[in-house]
Chains A and B, each alone.
Chain A
Amino acid sequence: EAQVTQNPRYLITVTGKKLTVTCSQNMNHEYMSWYRQDPGLGLRQIYYSMNVEVTDKGDVPEGYKVSRKEKRNFPLILESPSPNQTSLYFCASSPLSAGAAVANYGYTFGSGTRLTVV
C-alpha cells in the first residue's frame, strides 16, 4: 500500500530532551515536507526537501532540524524541545512533475505525531 509512515504516533517528552520523529514513504516521491498543525492556525510548514541532500526552511523552522540522506526517509529532529513545540506534526510527500512539486498531484500525508513537551 502506498503510504507515508510516521513514528511515533504519540510522544510525551520533557523540555530539552532531544527527540526524532521518523517519516518514511514508499512511493519514490522526490518531494517531502514537515508541517505542524495547531488549533486555529492551520498547517504551517517547518522544512521541505525537493530531493536527496536538498532541504530548505519553511515558515516555522526555528527549533527544528531535518535531513534527507535517502529518498524515502525524512526525519524531523528537535534538538532541545520546548513546550511551545507541543503540536500535531505531519509528514507529507509528493512526486515532482517536470521539476515542479504538486503541479499535478496532491500531497500524501502521514497519520500524524502528537507531541507534548512538558
Chain B
Amino acid sequence: SQKIEQNSEALNIQEGKTATLTCNYTNYSPAYLQWYRQDPGRGPVFLLLIRENEKEKRKERLKVTFDTTLKQSLFHITASQPADSATYLCALVMDSNYQLIWGAGTKLIIKP
C-alpha cells in the first residue's frame, strides 16, 4: 500500500542544536517534495521545494535532502531557536496530476 510517514512523536531539541526531521514514503514516485511549517490552529506555510533530480536544497538555516533510492527526505534546521517550534509537514507532488499527498507532520519543540 502507499504510505507517507513522518515521526508521530514530538522531537525535543536543545536550542542551538541541529534538528533533523524525517519523511519516508513507500510505493510513490514523486516528482517533487515540499516542506511546510504549521503553527497550532493556523494554516501551513510553505518553506522549501526539492525536485527528484536534486539531492539537496538550502534556504538560510534550512536544508532539505531528497533520496529517491531510499524514498526519504530529511529536513534540517541548524542553530535551532525556540521560535522554530512548530509542526513540520512534508508533501509529495506526483507528476501525474500535480496533487499533493501529505504526511501527518512532526511536532518540533526547541527548548531554551
Contacts and interface: CB of A to CB of B under 8 A. Distances in A.
Interface residues of B, number: 23
Nearest to B100: A102
B14 to A, nearest CB: 27
Q: Which of A42, A88, A92, A112 has most B Cβ within 10 Å?
A: A42
Contacts of A106: 34, 36, 46-47, 49
B49 A108 contact: no
Interface size class of A (residues with CB under 8 A): 20 to 34
Contacts of A92: 43
B79 interface: no
A7 B45 CA distance: 19
Nearest to B8: A40
Interface in B31-45: 31-32, 34, 36, 41-45
Taking chain B's interface residues, is the majority helix, strand, or loop, or is none over half, making it mixed? strand
A59 to B, nearest CB: 9
A90 interface: yes
Contacts of A42: 89, 102-105
A14 interface: no
Contacts of A108: 46
Interface string A29-52: 000000000001111110010000
B99 A48 contact: yes
B104 A41 contact: yes
A110 B43 contact: yes
A7 B58 CA distance: 35
A2 to B, nearest CB: 12
